[in-house]
A and B are shown apart, each in its own frame.
Chain A
Amino acid sequence: MPYLIILFRRITQAVGLLFAVAILNFSLIHMAPGDIVSTLVGEMGGASPETIAQLRKSFGLDLSFPEQLWIYLKHVAQGDLGTSVYYNQPVISLILDRVPATGLLVMTALVLSLTVGTTLGVLSARYPRSWLAAAVNVLSLFGFAAPVFWSGLMLLLLFASVIPIMPAGGFYDIVNGGTGWRKALDIAHHLVLPATSLALIFLALYSRLSRASMLEVMGSDYVRTARAKGLRESTVLFKHALRNALIPVVTVAGMQFSAMLAGAVLVEAVFTWPGLGQLAFESILRRDNQLLLGILMLSAVLVTVGNLLTDLLYRMIDPRIQIDA
């Protein structure tokens, strides 16, 4: 089937899915007790019933559930994610303000976990009885067993208190961060611990996965043929074996993207990283529903696009795969 038609069909399916997700998100959030007015009144230390009623009316919270849902869907269809009641700012601008921080964190963790994880997996498959393979096994066990917030806190205490070479949180040094390249370097410095924390769990996953996949591929006929042709071991390993072994890794990486975003919520909370995760966490506690719905919608779009790209990557890695199958 031509590529464009497949792409069009997938995009249509994705739009339908996003619409269903929007309804589900709105309904679930609506079921939670309390609302943003409770948060505002609590933060203010109280308010009169008249003020509370006025606030509810101005935020449209006095309307029935179907009316609120209809208004929300209408706005979403027009690309308008609404206004955050808490910050009194458009949701889209609040989200866009936080996207760079989360993007940087997630992409760094993704690259780190994929490259280091795959490399470790390949090496431990190549030398299965070596100390390296044993170390990778231990690392995998640790990565799986340690919750991301725990490993984050441990890294924080180790490298910000015991051996104080890392910042204890934040995106950059507010007082002395500088500008230009100094600021970039400062951000990189602040990124080391959160990215490592987030990458740890996925690094364990990818190293185990690539190891298992490589072990399977290494025993296949075409690898034997490649060796029989007299190719160099590195060529056999990286050009012939790894390319095929990567398919399950890429599949899982696509599926794990949403898990990585979820992990970012915890990491951002531990390291005061001003990203979308922290914003989502705060908006849940405050019942800032418009903002939360906006973040969830963005997350749904990212996961859908991520899965779509995974499908397309399959074909690039292995042209034998029929994308419409």
Chain B
Amino acid sequence: MKPKALFLSAFVGAILIASSGGVMPAHAQTKTLVVGTASVLRHVNPALQAAPVNQVGAQIFASPLRFDKDWNPQPYLAQSWSFQDDGKSLLLRLVPDATFHDGRPITSEDVAFSIMAIKALHPFNTMLAPVERVDTPSPTLAIIRLKHEYPALLLALSPALCPILPKHIYGDGQDLRTHPRNVDRPIGSGPYRLTAFEPAQHVTLEKYPGFFIKDRPKIDKLVFRVIPDPVVQMLEMERGNVHMMVGIMTAAQVDQAAKVPKISVIEKGGDAIGPVGWLEFNLRRKPYDDVRVRRAIAYAIDKDFIVKNLHRGASQVATGPIANGSPFYSDRVEKYKLDLDKSNRLLDEAGLKRNPQGTRFVMNIDYQPGIPDNYMVIAHYLRSQLRKVGVDVSVRVSPDFPTWAKRVSNWEHETTVSGAFMWGDPSIGVHRTWVSSNIRQGVIFSNTQGYSNPTVDAMLAEATQQRDLTKRKAIYAGFQKILADDVPVAFTHVWSRRWAVNKDLTDLPLGIWGTVVPLDQIDFKR
């Protein structure tokens, strides 16, 4: 072929390729739901960790219970349940004809095996700590025996936290943490079964025809597509190639989504996840060991500015360690509204006078790297804001999570902007940050600020075992008040549970676990 002809052919070929929407059919025969996610998964077994595995794991593995939007437990693998023995035993009666994806029936032996495996291996090691053993008097009856009353147990049996694994597969003697079936042909009893797992690109699941709930799921094929870049995520949603985004949306994404007619930004659901953000003080260091200094800084932070301007409405003001969607949230606490005069007065009282340049002291701030407009923007905002009360802020950047985790878990920080997730019940995700028994060097997401208050320790121990809801709420209200007074951290924001969805979808997951649930009800409108 002559060079000119070759060039022409190449050019025409390129145009054909470029314009060939025909390479991909616009609509497939099967109902395929594409969910965008930034997370690359190592495995799909939620018995070993919560996020980000449980999003996909909840599709493959069913759990004993699920929850509605009002925090009420609903039947799932357990068709009924009841506490007995003064709340020290939980009886779970299983659906009789439920099967795993390999056709084998689900029995109480599988429930017992799974619960004991989660107790032993899940990083939330307090979550099932009160469980003593699981009895299996019949194939459809499992009895969870507890050391003491434990009201959080029902939430701990949610799809996000308690997958029921087939004992005949995962109990074969191999180490569950490195079990090949965590990645290759995992077997569960959830609405979907895994067909392809390419961690960097996608996790593809198909409808399990033998799912124990009739006429579910409504979707034939569920694809979790990995898209790390927030710009590309929204671009693909705009183009209709992705129907739903899971994970925290950035403020820029919320803005972008608002301009696209086919996308809805959902602000409901996910109360149980409860991500709270704060400025943490290392209480071992001066001047942060003085509560007046901590209060002064809390009064100097304009929380409204953070949520309205920095996060552009993608977060809400936090007043304490429990997110405001929880039934245990209390706002009867000191809220630290912006008050620079009070802040200056407190700093004067603490003996931190201004020098001729107007500076009282230098504060070094770290921040947890990750979503740039979550923690990073707060750290940089504090640099200008705290200068107003004479605090000279220096921001120390951690290029990645391990660097930050090493600094903070080894207590090398002065202050850090970070936060924690509640994971359903305060005893699962909240206590760990405040109990003095969890001041453990080298452990990230522990009590890294070094807060020790015997009253708080006693209250949280009592709350763990208190089954009376009114009394339990009162304990947590007292706990939130003490924490607001002690200010071991200055609470800043609760990250909003916003997520983007294509308007063609209906029956969205709006319960307390948001999208971290089996997607067996969601469907396309047409």
Q: Which residues of A contact B (CB under 8 A)?
A: 32-36, 38-39, 41-49, 51-52, 86-88, 98, 153, 156-157, 160-161, 164-166, 168-171, 173-178, 182, 185-186, 188-189, 192, 269-272, 274, 278-279, 282, 284-287
Contacts and interface: CB of A to CB of B under 8 A. Distances in A.
Contacts of B202: 174
B406 A156 contact: no
Contacts, number: 168
B124 interface: yes
B405 to A, nearest CB: 4
Interface in B385-401: 400-401
A185 B42 contact: no
A41 B228 contact: no
Given A33-B402, A269-B229, A42 B444 contact: yes
Given A43-B49, A160-B235, A87 B228 contact: no
Contacts of A278: 200
Nearest to B182: A88
30 contacts: A33-B403, A34-B405, A38-B405, A39-B401, A41-B443, A43-B51, A44-B50, A45-B429, A46-B444, A48-B440, A49-B443, A86-B42, A87-B42, A88-B178, A153-B231, A156-B231, A160-B235, A168-B236, A173-B23, A173-B24, A175-B32, A176-B24, A177-B24, A178-B23, A185-B17, A185-B20, A192-B14, A271-B232, A282-B40, A287-B402
Interface string B6-23: 000000001001111101
Contact of A285 (B23, B42, B235, B401): B401
A38 B40 contact: no
Contacts of A32: 402-403
Contacts of A169: 227, 229, 232, 236
Contacts of B451: none
A34 B403 CA distance: 5
B49 A44 contact: yes
Considering the complex of A and B, which 10 residue pairs feature the smallest CB-CB distances, nearest first?
A: A34-B402, A46-B445, A44-B123, A176-B24, A38-B405, A44-B49, A38-B402, A34-B406, A274-B200, A47-B123
Which has the most chain A C-beta neighbours within 10 Å: B21, B48, B241, B423? B241
Contacts of A270: 229
Contacts of A160: 235, 239
B43 interface: yes
Contact of A286 (B402, B406, B423): B402
Contacts of A52: 442-443
Nearest to A285: B400
Interface of B: 14, 17-21, 23-25, 28, 32, 34, 40, 42-43, 48-52, 123-125, 178, 183, 198-202, 204, 221, 223, 225-229, 231-232, 235-236, 238-239, 241, 400-407, 409, 421, 423, 429, 432, 440, 442-446
A46 B433 CA distance: 10
B423 A47 contact: no
Given A44-B48, A52-B443, A165-B18, 5 more contacts: A43-B51, A45-B124, A46-B432, A279-B200, A286-B401
A73 to B, nearest CB: 24
A38 B42 contact: no
Contacts of B17: 185, 188-189, 192
Contacts of B51: 43, 45
A170 B445 contact: no
B333 to A, nearest CB: 25
A46 B226 contact: no
B14 A42 contact: no
A272 B444 contact: no
B124 A46 contact: yes
A175 B477 CA distance: 49
Contacts of A269: 228-229
Contacts of B404: 34
Nearest to A83: B178
A205 B337 CA distance: 58
A39 B403 CA distance: 10
A287 B401 CA distance: 9
Contacts of B402: 32-36, 38-39, 42, 285-287
A41 B444 CA distance: 7
A160 B409 CA distance: 43
Contact of B401 (A42, A188, A189): A42
A141 B32 CA distance: 46
Contacts of B20: 185, 189
B200 A185 contact: no
A164 B232 CA distance: 13
Contacts of B19: 165
B34 to A, nearest CB: 6
Nearest to B16: A185
B405 A42 contact: yes
Given A47-B123, A88-B178, A269-B229, A41 B405 contact: yes
- Residue from A157, A170, A285, A287 whose CB has the most chain B CB atoms within 10 Å: A170
A189 B400 contact: no
Contacts of B406: 33-34, 38
A174 B227 contact: no
Contacts of A87: 42, 199
A146 to B, nearest CB: 17
B229 A186 contact: no
A165 B15 CA distance: 10
